[in-house]
Amino acid sequence: MTLSTIQSRLLAACAAANRESASVTLIAVSKVQPIERVRAVLSQGHQVFGENYVQEAVQKWPDLRAEFGPVQVHMIGPLQTNKAKPAVDLFDAIHTLDRPSLATKLATLAQSRGTSPDLFIQINIGSEPQKAGVLPDDADAFIVTARALDLPIRGLMCIPPEDQDSTPHFKSLSEIAARNGLSGLSMGMSSDFESAIAAGATHIRVGSAIFGERNYG
């Protein structure tokens, strides 16, 4: 598939859900992809990308921004506290705020820099033991904590369990966001972004459907 195919599917999903297409940001997830594929998508004018690894992103994006202009890059992978500094220097948004120690660290950095990337709190929406994210039962309290630190919390992010229908999980995430007055919903990947749009996603994270399969070789 290609960027234009995904953009058409995004438009169709918005139309079907009676939503403005401008209310959904397509994050092209470029982690692990060969640089030629990333350059091809940049050349088509796309300006919002997602990365999972701080080191990979730091090696790639300063050069690409110098060449292609002020491209937005969003961090969507797990963030170690000791990588928070290079992360806030590089990323426009971080979707994986998932624990108090990281919130404290990001708040300290925001204070000293006078600015912070937009933040999304990752919710472990299926309460899976192996998965990162704040448990749904702890979400309201964690949002209060993060706001008390003056962090710019824009919304919530989730990765539903792989073997289940995503839609009920997207709906739960949307309910947690609504009752906490948060408008951002980062949800939906290559296999389920249309149902995420139907459930109110504001940010969809699509990788392989745009760039092709990832080769972790």
The site for ligand PLP (CB under 6 A) is made up of: 29, 31, 52, 76-77, 159, 189-190, 205-209
The residue among 95 and 105 lying less far from ligand PLP, judged by its C-beta, is 95
Write down the least CB distance from residue 66 to ligand PLP, Å. 25
Write down the least CB distance from residue 95 to ligand PLP, Å. 7
What phi and psi values does residue 94 have, to the nearest 5 degrees?
-125, 125
Write down the least CB distance from residue 141 to ligand PLP, Å. 24
Could you give the CA distance from residue 79 to residue 196 in angstroms, rounded to a whole number? 24
Which secondary structure element, helix H or strand E, spans residue 155, and what is its range? strand 153-158
| Backbone region of residue 158 per phi and psi (left: phi > 0; alpha: psi in -120 to 50; beta: other values) | beta
Write down the least CB distance from residue 98 to ligand PLP, Å. 12
Instruction: Count Cβ neighbours within 10 Å for each residue of 34-63 and write b for 16 or more, e otherwise.
Output: eeeebebbbeeebeebbbbbbeebbebbee
The residue among 33 and 174 lying less far from ligand PLP, judged by its C-beta, is 33
Residue whose CB is nearest to ligand PLP in the complex, by number: 207
Could you give the CA distance from residue 26 to residue 47 in angstroms, rounded to a whole number? 9
The residue among 105 and 205 lying less far from ligand PLP, judged by its C-beta, is 205
Eight-class DSSP state of 202: S
The residue among 116 and 190 lying less far from ligand PLP, judged by its C-beta, is 190
The residue among 18 and 215 lying less far from ligand PLP, judged by its C-beta, is 215
* Coil, strand or helix at 26: strand
Instruction: Count Cβ neighbours within 10 Å for each residue of 81-90 and write b for 16 or more, e otherwise.
Output: eebbbebbeb
Write down the least CB distance from residue 79 to ligand PLP, Å. 12
Task: Show Cβ contacts of residue 83 under 8 Å, excluding neighbours closer than 6 positions.
Answer: 54, 55
Contact (CB, 8 A) for 75 and 95: yes
The residue among 77 and 126 lying less far from ligand PLP, judged by its C-beta, is 77
Write down the least CB distance from residue 207 to ligand PLP, Å. 3
